[in-house]
Chain A
């Protein structure tokens, strides 16, 4: 048996699809999403995810995933680290 020692949420962003409309940035209650300074191949500033936002960690509410019109936010998923290292 192993124990979950660390568990947190993560937002997977497809940079190429993102058009920087900022809807998800506004929608995030924890303000974990922000616009990158870099641009993708289409010339848009894309969205970046940081684990800790202005108001705390990502809670996995998936609002960003629901409102993203480009399907650039591919998945909001839970990452679990266990004491056996996996």
Chain B
């Protein structure tokens, strides 16, 4: 019996992520959603700088590598010229909210129908775990060895709060992509609800783009290697601390894709 293959995922593509990182989960869902909507052949992926750079080794779609933080500008240009194509980008929190916040905000304000997926792991992952604008209070990183000081660095940036002030955004959602650990008497289990919700968010974001709207989805995930935690501890941290700083929410759904 043949194993079902997704046309947008390489048969032998191996992600470049550390074991337990949910970035790969996001790529898998993007591939699945492209297949389900039948838009693989007209999809153009724009990669940013960070762990998402090497996504092109996993997803079999056209790929443009953007400079650090500039993916939304490149996506906008491609979409304006190739109106019937599906243009999406994968960014990290450092890429989208630190160096590239101007490009993100202006693309969002123009409401150009593109899709931005932001994987928020609360640190700079690829450079080795430095503080990001999204690092929660007290979190120890390589550049904040005594924990992030809110008085000096300000509170963590909330992408959904910033973007919800722009009227031309059509779909704005924050989901947790990390499977929730469930502690039973004798063992630990993981729930699949978070993953299913994330897949739905990816699907709805693409649907919004097909209906000519700007969509942005933030995924709260882990970076267990740079947090210096075990896989289980990092997942626990997301569900104990992460969701308090970044509560999952549907901030905008202009076309009502969520209900359909």
The reply, when asked whether chain A contacts chain B directly with Cβ atoms under 8 A, is yes
B residues less than 8 Å from A66 (CB atoms):
179, 192, 195-196
| B105-160 contacts to A (CB < 8 Å) | none
Q: How many residues of A contact B (CB 8 A)?
A: 25
Bound: A44/B22 CA distance, A: 18
Please report whether the interface of chain A is mostly helix, strand, loop or mixed according to DSSP: loop
Kindly state whether residue B210 has any CB partner on chain A within 8 Å.
Answer: no
| A55-77 contacts to B (CB < 8 Å) | 62-63, 66-71, 74-75, 77
Bound: A70/B192 CA distance, A: 15
The number of residue pairs between A and B whose CB atoms lie closer than 8 Å in the complex comes to 71
Bound: A77/B19 CA distance, A: 25
Kindly state whether residue A22 has any CB partner on chain B within 8 Å.
Answer: yes
A residues less than 8 Å from B231 (CB atoms):
21-23
Q: Which of A20, A69, A75, A79 contacts B28 (CB 8 A)?
A: A69
A16 and B195: CB pair below 8 A? no
Segment at the A interface, from B10-18, B39-47, B161-169, B251-259: B10-18
B195 and A67: CB pair below 8 A? yes
**Would you list 14 pairs from A and B whose C-beta atoms are within 8 A, ordered by A residue?**
A16-B12, A17-B13, A20-B19, A22-B231, A23-B20, A23-B231, A26-B187, A42-B14, A44-B19, A63-B192, A67-B192, A69-B24, A74-B3, A75-B3
